[in-house]
């Protein structure tokens, strides 16, 4: 009989905590130990890519592709939970038995570790018995929770999660730690959690690039007209600025940002020029006012896309801001950053001990 694989659920207490990046970092480490990894995401969401997830969705294909997994090392999604499927489940007289499907789903697993990406939080999927606690029980799986760093709510949320998950919770990863908070996390938070029986297997720095979005994704979200720079829509936007001040203040304000999108009125030539002289990767003009020719000329020289939108400034800013951290990790440019800067921060020896995993015999040799 094939050996039984360990099941490890990578979950979170809130959406957009960085599960995909953490899963990749853990997978890279396990593969480096010579362990065979399988990937699956039993419950997908239409929020994964801004549209209902379909079989073969590129977002769900991305992680297996990056990890070099074969078809046998990939598991299909059981359900994509969007508005339509949610309504169907609510109205169904006898909802499908996803618990049974989940158990059969993993009956013939081979390899060493099945890495499962969990729902957005501990509650999502409860309607169809595919919440993180439901999966942990059905699969007798271990759980690593990814915590988005927060001074106030982070510790409370993980203690509450421990009460719900019990022994299934084998550790946490604290993600998005600012440099100024590293000492507080290391000296206060980590010892406290360890004392509570919650191992911390990694603390990861805040990396705006990982939460950033391509200009092309901004174009889609805004239904924008690209006035110039259509060849540079793969540029990454890491922050957002609003141009609505005098030009001197704008220069100081814009110069504080890195790889930013600047939203300003189509009639504000002075602010548009100021933005293009700083680290701007995308200029978004509201009011559908055609910009001055010298603005377009400068943008072309700087290779900065200029977009025109019909929405007002507030709506435009809200739509762009909603993208940060919500766009899936389906950008090949982000993978080297995960591999080089995050992977080594995962305490793989401790993780393997918590999972009761031994390295392969050939990997264990000196």
* pLDDT-based confidence at residue 255 (cuts at 50, 70, 90): confident
CA distances from 106 to 6, 80, 85, 127, 154 (A): 11, 18, 23, 21, 32
String of DSSP letters for 284-329: EEETTPPPPHHHHHHHHHHT--EEE-SS-HHHHHHHHHTTTTTS-S
The mean pLDDT value for 43-49 works out to 62
The alpha carbon dihedral of 127, 130, 136, 138 has a sign of: positive
pLDDT value of position 111? 80
Within 10 angstroms of residue 54's Cβ, the number of other Cβ atoms is 12
Count of helix runs (H) and strand runs (E) in the chain = 17, 16
* pLDDT-based confidence at residue 53 (cuts at 50, 70, 90): very low
* Rounded Cα gap, residues 19 and 118, in angstroms: 8
Question: At the topology level of CATH, where does 213-321 sit?
Answer: 3.40.1390
Domain residue ranges of the chain, discontinuous segments joined by + = 6-209+328-364, 213-321
> pLDDT at residue 62 above 90?
no
pLDDT value of position 327? 62
String of DSSP letters for 250-288: HHHHHHT-SSEEEEEETT-HHHHHHHHTSSEEEEEEETT
* pLDDT-based confidence at residue 342 (cuts at 50, 70, 90): confident
Q: How many Cα neighbours within 13 Å face the side chain of 72?
A: 5
> pLDDT at residue 365 above 60?
no
CA distances from 133 to 2, 201, 334 (A): 27, 20, 30
Structure token pair of residue 172: 């946490």
The overall average pLDDT reported for the chain is 86
- Comparing 61 with 264, which gets the higher pLDDT? 264
pLDDT value of position 57? 42
> pLDDT at residue 257 above 90?
no
The mean pLDDT value for 26-32 works out to 95
Rg (CA), the chain: 23
Question: At the topology level of CATH, where does 6-209+328-364 sit?
Answer: Rossmann fold (3.40.50)
| pLDDT tens digits along 269-322 | 999 999 999 999 999 999 888 899 999 999 999 999 999 999 888 889 988 988
| pLDDT tens digits along 178-220 | 999 999 999 999 999 999 999 999 999 988 777 788 899 899 9
| pLDDT tens digits along 104-132 | 767 666 689 999 999 989 999 988 889 99
Structure token pair of residue 33: 């130990």
Residue 330 CA from chain centroid, whole number: 9
Q: Which range in 224-228, 236-240, 249-253, 327-331 is most confidently predicted, on average pLDDT?
A: 224-228
* pLDDT-based confidence at residue 80 (cuts at 50, 70, 90): confident
């Amino acid at each position: 009989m094939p050996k039984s694989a360990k099941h490890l659920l990578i979950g979170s207490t809130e959406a957009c905590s960085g599960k995909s990046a953490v899963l990749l970092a853990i997978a890279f480490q396990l593969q480096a130990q010579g362990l065979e990894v399988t990937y699956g995401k039993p419950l997908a969401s239409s929020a994964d890519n801004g549209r209902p997830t379909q079989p073969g969705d590129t977002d769900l294909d991305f992680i297996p592709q990056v990890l070099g997994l074969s078809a046998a090392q990939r598991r299909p999604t059981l359900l994509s939970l969007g508005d339509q499927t949610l309504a169907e489940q609510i109205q169904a007289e006898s909802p499908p038995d996803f618990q049974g499907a989940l158990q059969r789903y993993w009956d013939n697993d081979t390899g060493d570790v099945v890495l499962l990406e969990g729902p957005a939080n501990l509650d999502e999927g409860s309607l169809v018995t595919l919440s993180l606690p439901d999966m942990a029980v059905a699969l007798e799986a271990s759980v690593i929770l990814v915590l988005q760093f927060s001074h106030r709510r982070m510790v409370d949320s993980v203690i509450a999660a421990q009460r719900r998950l019990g022994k299934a919770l084998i550790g946490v990863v604290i993600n998005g730690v600012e440099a100024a908070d590293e000492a507080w996390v290391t000296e206060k938070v980590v010892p406290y959690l360890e004392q509570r029986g919650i191992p911390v297997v990694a603390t990861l720095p805040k990396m705006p690039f990982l939460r950033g979005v391509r200009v092309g994704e901004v174009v889609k979200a805004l239904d924008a007209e690209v006035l110039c720079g259509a060849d540079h829509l793969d540029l990454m936007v890491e922050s957002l600025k609003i141009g609505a001040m005098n030009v001197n203040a704008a220069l100081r304000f814009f110069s504080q940002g890195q790889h930013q999108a600047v939203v300003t009125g189509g009639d504000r030539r002075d602010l548009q020029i100021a933005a293009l002289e700083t680290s701007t990767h995308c200029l978004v003009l509201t009011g559908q006012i055609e910009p001055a020719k010298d603005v377009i000329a400068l943008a072309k020289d700087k290779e900065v896309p200029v977009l025109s939108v019909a929405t007002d400034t507030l709506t435009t800013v809200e739509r762009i801001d909603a993208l940060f951290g919500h766009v899936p990790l389906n950008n090949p440019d982000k993978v080297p950053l995960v591999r080089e800067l995050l992977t080594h921060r995962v305490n793989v020896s401790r993780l393997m001990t918590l999972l009761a995993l031994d390295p392969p015999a050939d990997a264990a040799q000196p």
